[in-house]
Amino acid sequence: MSSFRVSGRGRVDHTQPIQFTFDGKKIKGFKGDTVASALLANGIHLMGRSFKYHRPRGAVTAGSEEPNALVGTRRGPGRFEPNTRATVQEIWDGLQVNSQNRYPSLSFDIGAINDKAYMLFSAGFYYKTFMWPKSFWDKVYEPFIRAAAGLGVSPTEPDPDHYASRYLHTDVLIIGAGPAGLAAALSAARAGSRVTLVDENPEAGGSLLSEPSAQIEDMPAWDWVGKTVAELKELGVKLMTRTTAIGYYHQNMVGLCEKLTDHLASPDGETPRERMWRVRAKQVVLAQGALEKPLVFDGNDRPGVMLAGSAQTYLNRYGVRVGDKAVILTSHDSAWYAAFDLADAGTTIAAIVDTRAEPNADLVAEATKRGIRIMAGHTVTGTEGRLRVKSVRVNPVTGSSVGAPEVIGCDCLLMSGGWTPSLHLFSHTKGTLAWDEERQTFLPDHKAEECEIAGAGRGLWGIEAVLNDGAAMGAAAVKSLGKDIAPASYTVANDRPGTGVSHKELPTDLDAGKARAFVDYQNDVTAKDLRLAVREGMRSIEHVKRYTTNGMATDQGKMSNINGLNIASDALGVPQPKVGLTTFRPPYTPTTFGAFCGYHKGSHFEVTRKTPIDSWAEENGAAYEPVSLWRRAWYFPKDGEDMHAAVDRECRATRASVGIFDASTLGKIEVVGPDAVEFMNRMYTNPWTKLAPGRARYGLLLGDDGFIRDDGVIGRLADDRFHVTTTTGGAARVLNMMEDYLQTEWPDLDVWLTSTTEQWATIALNGPNARKVLEPFVEGQDMSDEAFPHMSVSECRVGGFPARLFRISFTGEVGFEVNVPAHAGRALWEMLYEAGKKYDICPYGTETMHVLRAEKGYIIVGQDTDGTVTPHDAGLSWAIGKMKPDFVGKRGLARPDLVAEGRKQLIGLLTEDGKTKLEEGAQIVLDPNQPKPMKMVGHVTSSYHSDAAGRPIAMALLEDGFNRMGETIYIPMPDRVIKAQVTGTVFYDPEGARLKL
């Protein structure tokens, strides 16, 4: 293969070549490679263009914190993912990878003009440049910015993959399977606890995978990892790889996103792409290690500039040298070891530039042994190279003075600014951090959850220290579960302990104002931007962050936070802990919407409630409308009828003979008990004491504020039993409200409340022939007007089924509602429909129901009322039991605002031309010629074409409406002003003659 692949090195399988494409070009790698490691093995560093300036960028890391190497990955139609980190995506045969945010090609990108115009794009440019004029924002600036700046393009096709979710309960959840996590898992599992160990990588080992030369317990590090994983499995530990802990929530609930198929060439089609786990752990051990910091200097973003630890990972884990000639720039000992490993693998180390004047003597000796040039007390002030670094500018630093530069040729620059403990998840818990002056970083302080932090997350460094800390923290975690175990003690040979110092941007002999020294690579934020933000008055780190967008990219500032803080702290002249840190929020790394949705998509997104008669409606061509979670038959179009024609026909047929309607969605609540009548008296406005068993009444429910909440017909079946009906959408709300008052205000009342909505199928028959259709099926109830008058209820049999039969009307015609057990609903419907054919029975839907009720002025709560309407406003004062000492809402009705004059009241409207149908929701004004904004005095609540009235009718809430009868009001529409006359709300049969048999 290429000269950058080190034969036999790394954990990739050199016997299994894999071919994928990058921007259409065929690339070869090995099984175990990531996209980034395979590209680097082929000498390719240029992997993307930056967000704002379109600067050429390469991978700067080897892990999930990668800010630069974002690519699009594709697996056939629909399976496209933008912004995938090339450093994480494993390769497989046939994988299609494309670079992003470039046109026409990655190496020649027109958008790079932004880079020349960088002065324009300085901190706060959104706020400054585009303030004026407003129209320029919409037409010029925003489209330009959107086109020029950005990440990958969103997929446009539906995602054909499926996603899963599961719950998991465990004693100890350990996050991170590096040395600390493995040692913690051993302690906890050996103590007999149920342990779950997760890691975002494809295999356990963490940093040990990059340190093969270490000897743990006289065993090569990789052998120790293998042995440990085997023992953990033996002990029953659940080891989950490719699994990212995305968020740490209350009471030790941790969200895990497990990737199952993204690394496979041919997924089986059965396995979900990703699975979201909601883990409830008794104890959590955070062993997430530390992330290496870049150093901040001019040109620190050029392809080939990379973190030293990542270069070490590419070499040891993937068998890839990231270059032939490297310069090391470091403020931490760790980068020296990377240099040694690379030197031993054949890369020329042109120099180790250490910002410290006196680096560790042992390291200096090791370097000298290898013939490496050491430049202690030096800094880098610039890099050269268009698409790849070709040289670096190195200067000596004495105190605050920067000496003359020397240009050193190279093809990669490996930097280390020290290590930041990865405490994102710890921060999710609102655990507090404390500034550690010695390590110049934040460390965990006060814990808010049952957790331990182990290893590098606590600022420890070196394999031995981390292993021993992991073992101790694993033991500490199980101790609180009542299990005692002495933590194992580890000895490590060839360990690589070390220390370092922390920097703001590095000093320079050039104009610092022109330096392109990046702090946040992904959002293209430079040190200069941060200082500008402080100069322009930002004081809080939260303001600096938002003004510059530092740390606001999809990597959440994993690499930029501390560098940004150091620079802001310096600019403000305030120590770091006083400046503070911005908040980390879930998810830890970008997570797909699919993983969050899980099974909840398509028809599983929300239930569709169907009545027992729904299947008949479907077979008979009903059009449906959603009503809360129900789907209800809206109308039954015949032979190409439109809705208007169908509804007119259904209305006509019902008023002329008989219509049949599925009312099963009505809410039903059984109110039972010795105190049932007292409870009803207190809940509803109406008086119930004198309502005899066998009679029914319209019930009105208010809130204690006096406003209408719900209504429905209520039948008294026995002294101690009521059949309450509610609106379709209000059923659950009404039952909640009843339970609340019953349980907490009147616990002395002996009453039981039971929802029976789904137990009863309800069929409404309305029209002059309704009784003729129904009567032959009724057993046990005399159907004469005398024995069963309007507003009656009876427990009898209908069609052989036990039934609750109401004589009520929501249409103004003679009406019945038959409740039978749900299973009998469709059978009875079909019987009645067959028998009704000789009367031209007409099935109708909710639209006809709405028209018929509106013709009679019957309100629909929630349509003609909106939570600010009193019974008086709605013309329902008659429904109030004025003699009752109290009911819910009675005191509310006496509130000053509710008895004031000029409230909005429900009235009827007839358009002047007798043809125009108003729009529901349209606003009403008294004077159409007044200047805008006009004073709006009400709105249309219901509006239909009425076949019975022969014209459109409407209801509206209108200020002082009752006193405006006969007046003309105006409804301004976009194209014209409509005139209408204020009327009563009953448009048909005002005497109610048609209710009689």
Partner 1 sequence: MLLIHCPYCNQTLPEAEFTYAGEAHIARPADPSSVSDEEWRDFLFIRTNVKGPHYERWRHFHGCGRYFNAVRDTVSDRFLITYKTDDPRPELSKLLEKSK
Binding site for partner 1 (CB under 8 A): 249-251, 253, 278, 280, 430, 448, 704-705, 736, 739-740, 743-745, 747, 885-886, 890-892, 894-896
Distance in angstroms (rounded) separating the CA atoms of residues 229 and 223: 10
Q: Smallest distance from the beta carbon of 171 to partner 1, in angstroms?
A: 16
Beta-strand relationship, 760-766 and 708-718: unpaired
What φ, ψ does residue 120 adopt, rounded to 5°? -70, -30
Look at residues 874, 863, 819 and name the one whose alpha carbon lies nearest to residue 727: 863
Q: Smallest distance from the beta carbon of 250 to partner 1, in angstroms?
A: 5
Q: Smallest distance from the beta carbon of 960 to partner 1, in angstroms?
A: 23
Please give the sequence-ordered ranges of beta strands (E in DSSP) within 37-132, or none if there are none: 46-49, 56-58, 70-74, 80-85, 96-99
Residue 617 near residue 636, CB atoms below 8 Å: yes
Helices (H), 781-929: 825-836, 846-855, 890-893, 896-899
Identity of the residue, 747 or 950, whose beta carbon is nearer to partner 1 in the bound complex:
747
Q: Smallest distance from the beta carbon of 766 to partner 1, in angstroms?
A: 36
8-state DSSP, 209: G
How far apart, in Å, are the Cα atoms of 187 and each of 176, 451, 530? 15, 15, 45
How far apart are the two ends of the chain, measured CA to CA in Å? 96
Q: Smallest distance from the beta carbon of 705 to partner 1, in angstroms?
A: 6
What φ, ψ does residue 797 adopt, rounded to 5°? -120, 140
Distance in angstroms (rounded) separating the CA atoms of residues 414 and 331: 12
What contacts 268, CB < 8 A, 6 or more positions away?
none
Residue 429 near residue 456, CB atoms below 8 Å: no
Residue 306 near residue 322, CB atoms below 8 Å: yes
Identity of the residue, 144 or 752, whose beta carbon is nearer to partner 1 in the bound complex:
752
Q: Is residue 645 within a helix (H) or strand (E), and if so which, with residue range? A: helix 643-656
Peptide bond between residue 587 and the one before it cis (omega within 30 degrees of 0): yes
Look at residues 376, 375, 366 and name the one whose alpha carbon lies nearest to residue 344: 366
Reduced DSSP (H G I as helix, E B as strand, rest coil) percent helix, strand, coil of the chain, to 5: 25, 30, 45
3-state secondary structure of 888: coil
3-state secondary structure of 118: helix
Q: Smallest distance from the beta carbon of 165 to partner 1, in angstroms?
A: 13
Number of CB atoms found within 10 A of residue 587's CB: 19
Beta-strand relationship, 13-22 and 96-99: parallel
Beta-strand relationship, 80-85 and 70-74: antiparallel
Measure the CA angle with vertex 23, ends 19 and 29; round to 5°.
Answer: 25
Query: To 10 degrees, the CA torsion angle through 566, 569, 575, 580?
Result: -90
Write 924-927 long-range contacts (CB < 8 A, 24+).
924/956, 924/958, 924/969, 924/970, 924/971, 925/969, 925/970, 925/971, 925/972, 926/969, 926/970, 927/970
What contacts 274, CB < 8 A, 6 or more positions away?
163, 164, 257, 258, 259, 260, 262, 592, 594, 595
Return the half-sphere exposure (C-beta side, CA atoms, 13 A cut-off) of residue 944: 26
- Dump the DSSP string for 339-402: HHHHHHTT-EEEEEEESSSS--HHHHHHHHHTT--EEETEEEEEEE-SSS--EEEEEEEETTEE
268 exposure class (CB count in 10 Å sphere: 0-12, 13-18, 19+) = exposed
Distance in angstroms (rounded) separating the CA atoms of residues 668 and 686: 18
Structure tokens at 68: 């630069």
Structure tokens at 138: 């919409």
Number of CB atoms found within 10 A of residue 169's CB: 12
Largest CA distance in the chain: 115
Q: Smallest distance from the beta carbon of 245 to partner 1, in angstroms?
A: 16
Q: Which amino acid is at 77?
A: P
